[in-house]
């Protein structure tokens, strides 16, 4: 049954403030200390399913990844995405899954066809490189021309000082910087760092979390009052230009906020370093701008793909990820798809009698549409399929290489390390012990194991939606390279040699979950 079974409240999208986040961590700290002491002792004593799995080689997994990344993008509801959906259905069926299903997900398909930013001072007009802000208002061919006005981070007090009515607002996106080294040592369950690259001073830009232009919940209400965009709208601005200040490199191809909310005035992004020039031009007080953003929108459908690999029991372990991407999406989430398919291949090659529990494989659409695919699946199956699921093992952005801002070229410079990653784990002693054992056995690099409520919200990614709507336990493994949500997320940034070892690590978690007593979930 794929119809939504009842009314629902959409899962709130990830949105934090610094003050609220730190107070939250202090509240949950005693529970973290208690659980990590218990879980670390139990990690060495866990029972593991005695079965030999034939894990695909890194090259075999990479072939799946290349296939998924053949189109220029996998944007929800497009022909490119439909092509990959069909590939997944065929792969599921070939592996022998039962009840293979393409579940329809209805969306509004927003597509930009032409965009440009022109800035004029006196008789001089120049083009500033730009990229469109997803789901914002379209213009005609001539665009919208108006005076430019700079509002900094666009806080309420900034708008009180400026009259933006009839003007094009220029503002800075505020990306939070997370001191993850110090936080993980104090508030995390476990740090897996065999290469010793993590220190207490380690920190990173959360490029998916615009503090002053956050995601909204599915459906768009209520509007988040701190948003620079909605304040510009409410104060009468006719357009908005957002500088990706602090974002590593000069990229302007930022895909967000991906909440599926259609917005009234046109918007464009400008890269961090191009933004320095733009800011100077605007602050001269004499600049006007022209925003051109042509495109169209129409009703469309996307599809969740799922199927069941039966075991000896009706109890199930869910293995999940999402298939949509803004661009090539090699890391997000080509690697997640390839990793799920690796588990599918390995577990389908052993007899049903060797699988104590069934496996439910799910690859959703619409992660980049407020998680609408995961929300739809969970809401339509929380009274049947998901009643049988003991835990969701969700895999995203695995084997993504770490990349930094090259100070000379302001392009991404790939390093020898994996991008920082986390595993969100539900607050269950043996689930945490299983993850710790996996990290120890496989020497997983640059990884933090943290509670599912670490940020005071649901886990970031598909697992959060499945957890919220399906009431599931989760083990959610995700890495966060800076090039996510940009056109730079390409195959060269995947650590190919890590694919098979990572798949073996995931398989070992599943081996523990296959025999873990039901009452311990």
The CATH code belonging to domain 18-107+312-520 is 3.40.630.10
DSSP string, 3-51: S--S--PPPPPP---HHHHHHHHHHHHHHHHHHHHHHHHHGGG------
Q: What does the alpha-carbon distance between residue 377 and residue 248 come to, in Å, rounded to a whole number?
A: 35
pLDDT of residue 5: 44
Query: Contact, 395 vs 340, CB < 8 A?
Result: yes
Q: What does the alpha-carbon distance between residue 455 and residue 93 come to, in Å, rounded to a whole number?
A: 38
- Helices within 69-168 (DSSP H only): 79-94, 156-161
DSSP string, 453-510: TTTSSSPSSHHHHHHHHH---EEEEEE--TTTTSTT--GGGB-GGGHHHHHHHHHHHH
pLDDT of residue 29: 93
Number of neighbouring beta carbons within 10 Å of residue 328: 21
pLDDT of residue 21: 86
CA nearest to 53, candidates 349, 319, 394: 349
**435: pLDDT strictly greater than 50:** yes
Q: What does the alpha-carbon distance between residue 157 and residue 226 come to, in Å, rounded to a whole number?
A: 11
pLDDT confidence band for 450 (50 / 70 / 90): very high
**Omega prior to 257 cis, within 30 of 0:** yes
Q: What does the alpha-carbon distance between residue 388 and residue 342 come to, in Å, rounded to a whole number?
A: 23
Q: Could you tell me the pTM of the whole model? A: 0.95
Instruction: Name the 3-class secondary structure at 347.
Output: helix
**222: pLDDT strictly greater than 50:** yes
Question: Tens digits of per-residue pLDDT, 370-392?
Answer: 999 999 999 999 999 999 999 99
**150: pLDDT strictly greater than 80:** yes
What's the whole-number mean pLDDT along residues 393-400?
97
Question: Tens digits of per-residue pLDDT, 348-370?
Answer: 999 999 999 999 999 999 999 99
CA nearest to 400, candidates 501, 497, 495: 495
Q: Which residues of 141-160 are buried (b: 16+ CB within 10 A; e: fewer)?
A: eebbbbebbbbbbbbeebbe
What's the whole-number mean pLDDT along residues 73-96?
97
**319: pLDDT strictly greater than 60:** yes
Q: What does the alpha-carbon distance between residue 484 and residue 367 come to, in Å, rounded to a whole number?
A: 13
Question: Tens digits of per-residue pLDDT, 477-521?
Answer: 999 999 999 999 999 999 999 999 999 999 999 999 999 999 999
> Within 13 Å, how many C-alpha atoms sit on residue 300's CB side?
21
pLDDT of residue 274: 98
pLDDT of residue 276: 96
Query: Contact, 343 vs 502, CB < 8 A?
Result: no
**428: pLDDT strictly greater than 80:** yes
- Helices within 107-179 (DSSP H only): 156-161
pLDDT of residue 217: 81
What's the whole-number mean pLDDT along residues 150-158?
95
Query: Contact, 491 vs 25, CB < 8 A?
Result: no
Backbone angles phi, psi at 400, to 5 degrees: -75, 130
Q: Measured in Å, how far apart are the chain's first and last C-alpha atoms?
A: 26
Query: Contact, 273 vs 200, CB < 8 A?
Result: no
Domain with CATH 3.50.30.30 in the chain: 109-178+205-298
What's the whole-number mean pLDDT along residues 429-458?
95
Mean confidence (pLDDT) of the chain: 94
C-alpha distances in Å from residue 451, one per residue of 23, 91, 173 = 15, 34, 28
Q: What does the alpha-carbon distance between residue 287 and residue 241 come to, in Å, rounded to a whole number?
A: 13
CA nearest to 137, candidates 254, 287, 268, 234: 268
Q: Residue 117: beta bridge partners? A: 291
Question: Tens digits of per-residue pLDDT, 4-57?
Answer: 544 556 666 666 677 888 899 999 999 999 999 999 999 989 999 999 999 999
What's the whole-number mean pLDDT along residues 452-473?
90
Cβ neighbours of residue 494 under 8 Å, at least 6 residues apart?
62, 65, 330, 331, 334, 335, 399, 400, 401
Q: Residue 240: beta bridge partners? A: 169, 267
**198: pLDDT strictly greater than 50:** yes
C-alpha distances in Å from residue 156, one per residue of 54, 160, 231, 414 = 58, 6, 7, 38
**185: pLDDT strictly greater than 90:** no
Query: Contact, 131 vs 293, CB < 8 A?
Result: no
Vertex 190, ends 187 and 193: CA angle to 5°?
120
Token pair, residue 173, equals 């996106």
The full length of the chain comes to 521
**DSSP E strand boundaries for 259-323:** 267-270, 288-309, 316-322
Domain with CATH 3.40.630.10 in the chain: 18-107+312-520
Query: Contact, 140 vs 114, CB < 8 A?
Result: no
pLDDT of residue 15: 66
Instruction: Name the 3-class secondary structure at 91.
Output: helix
Return the residue matching tokens 């890194």: 58
Q: What does the alpha-carbon distance between residue 1 and residue 423 come to, in Å, rounded to a whole number?
A: 31
**Quick one: 140 exposed, middle or buried, by C-beta within 10 A (0-12, 13-18, 19+)?**
exposed
**87: pLDDT strictly greater than 60:** yes
pLDDT of residue 10: 66
The CATH code belonging to domain 109-178+205-298 is 3.50.30.30
Number of neighbouring beta carbons within 10 Å of residue 296: 10
pLDDT confidence band for 216 (50 / 70 / 90): confident
């Amino acid at each position: 049954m794929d119809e939504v079974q009842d009314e629902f409240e959409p899962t709130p999208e990830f949105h934090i403030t610094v003050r609220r986040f730190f107070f939250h961590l202090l509240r949950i700290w005693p529970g973290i200390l208690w659980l990590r002491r218990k879980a670390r002792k139990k990690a060495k004593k866990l029972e593991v399913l005695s079965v030999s799995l034939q894990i695909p080689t890194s090259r075999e997994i990479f072939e799946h990844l290349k296939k998924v990344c053949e189109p220029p993008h996998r944007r929800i509801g497009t022909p490119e995405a439909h092509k990959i959906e069909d590939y997944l259905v065929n792969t599921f069926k070939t592996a022998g899954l039962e009840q293979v299903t393409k579940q329809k997900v209805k969306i509004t398909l927003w597509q930009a066809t032409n965009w440009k930013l022109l800035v004029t001072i006196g008789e001089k007009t120049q083009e500033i490189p730009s990229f469109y802000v997803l789901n914002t208002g379209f213009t005609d061919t001539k665009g919208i021309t108006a005076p430019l006005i700079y509002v900094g981070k666009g806080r309420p007090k900034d708008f009180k000082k400026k009259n933006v009515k009839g003007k094009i607002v220029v503002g800075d996106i505020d990306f939070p910087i997370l001191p993850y080294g110090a936080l993980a040592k104090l508030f995390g369950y476990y740090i897996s760092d065999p290469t010793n690259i993590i220190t207490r001073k380690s920190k990173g830009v959360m490029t998916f979390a615009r503090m002053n232009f956050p995601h909204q919940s599915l459906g768009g209400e209520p509007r988040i009052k701190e948003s620079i965009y909605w304040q510009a709208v409410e104060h009468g601005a006719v357009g908005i230009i957002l500088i990706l200040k602090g974002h590593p490199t000069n990229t302007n191809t930022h895909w967000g906020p991906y909440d599926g909310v259609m917005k009234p005035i046109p918007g464009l992004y400008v890269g961090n370093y191009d933004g320095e020039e733009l800011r100077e031009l605007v602050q001269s007080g004499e600049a006007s701008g022209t925003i051109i953003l042509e495109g169209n929108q129409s009703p469309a459908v996307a599809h969740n793909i799922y199927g069941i690999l039966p075991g000896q029991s009706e109890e199930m372990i869910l293995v999940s990820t999402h298939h949509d991407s803004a661009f090539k999406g090699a890391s997000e989430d080509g690697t997640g798809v390839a990793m799920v398919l690796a588990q599918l291949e390995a577990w389908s090659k052993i007899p049903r009698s060797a699988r104590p529990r069934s496996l439910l494989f799910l690859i959703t659409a619409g992660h980049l549409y407020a998680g609408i695919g995961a929300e739809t699946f969970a809401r339509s199956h929380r009274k049947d399929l998901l009643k049988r699921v003991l835990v969701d093992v969700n895999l995203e952005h695995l084997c993504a290489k770490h990349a930094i801002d090259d100070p000379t070229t302001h392009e991404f410079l790939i390093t020898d390390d994996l991008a920082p990653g986390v595993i969100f784990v539900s607050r269950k002693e043996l689930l945490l012990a299983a993850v710790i054992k996996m990290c120890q056995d496989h020497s997983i690099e640059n990884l933090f194991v943290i509670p599912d409520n670490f940020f005071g919200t649901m886990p970031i990614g598909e697992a959060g939606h499945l957890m919220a709507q399906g009431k599931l336990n989760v083990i959610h493994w995700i890495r966060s390279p800076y090039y996510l949500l940009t056109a730079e997320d390409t195959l060269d940034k995947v650590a190919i040699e890590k694919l098979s070892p990572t798949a073996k690590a995931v398989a070992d978690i599943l081996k523990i979950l296959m025999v873990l007593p039901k009452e311990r979930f």
